Amino acid sequence: MTLKWGFPSLTHIHLTRTPMATKCEGLGLGRLFSHPNSATFPSFLPKEVSKINDPLARTMARKIERLPMTLFETCIMSSCVKPAKRSEKNPVVLLHCFDSSCLEWSYAFPLLEEAGLETWAVDVLGWGFSDLDSLPPCNVETKRSHLYQFWKTYIKRPIVLVGPSLGAAIAVDFAVNHPEAVSVKLSI
């Protein structure tokens, strides 16, 4: 197997308004997001992101989006990197470790996509780049509910759930409480 570095063209991706985005817009949370192929970083990222030198991390940062979702009847903007394309196979969902973000997967994400896997990197509630103006308590139940609502809103089929450290703990808890959502759990 030959590993190639780099990314396929993403010009075929079209951004569309989802029903949830329209619902959240009424609450003042609807936003336009940067196209993943853009030369600039999404405006919600801290300005320090421009100091990142690693080309894979820079590419990953450009792909980060905020997706609207409801958590305990509150609309939040949850940050993630979406797959370039959908697949018939079970999607891979990557959770990061403690005090990190989806940027943790800058090296693995493109390799998984190159292998033809539908791959999502999701920021754990309370970390990463999610817009949490009305931050709910970031306890185990809330993190589980966040991941479940994200899954129910955007993925909607059994996933391969991958996580190191804190991400592994969240993955175990999620798989135990929502077995219908997980086909395989991989703790690193």
- Domain definitions of the chain by residue range: 31-187
Are 81 and 60 in contact, with CB atoms under 8 Å apart?
yes
Where is average pLDDT lowest: 10-14, 71-75, 154-158, 174-178? 10-14
Report pTM.
0.78
Q: Which of 16-25, 59-68, 136-145 has the highest mean pLDDT?
A: 59-68
Query: Quick check: 20 pLDDT over 60?
Result: no
Q: Which of 25-29, 48-52, 127-131, 183-187 has the highest mean pLDDT?
A: 48-52
- Tell me: domain 31-187, CATH 3.40.50.1820, correct? yes
Where is average pLDDT lowest: 17-21, 62-66, 158-162? 17-21
Max CA distance (Å), the chain: 49
Query: Quick check: 12 pLDDT over 60?
Result: no
Chain CA centroid to CA 85, Å:
14
Where is average pLDDT lowest: 2-11, 40-49, 83-92, 104-113? 2-11
Query: Quick check: 153 pLDDT over 60?
Result: yes
- DSSP H helices, the chain, are 19-25, 55-63, 108-114, 140-150, 166-177
Question: What is the mean pLDDT of the segment spanning 57-71?
Answer: 95
Question: What is the mean pLDDT of the segment spanning 119-124?
Answer: 97
With 0-12 / 13-18 / 19 or more C-beta atoms within 10 angstroms meaning exposed / middle / buried, residue 138 is: middle
Question: Model confidence at 134, in pLDDT bands (50, 70, 90)?
Answer: low
What span, in angstroms and rounded, lies between the C-alpha atoms of 172 and 188? Answer: 11
Position 179 scores a pLDDT of 97
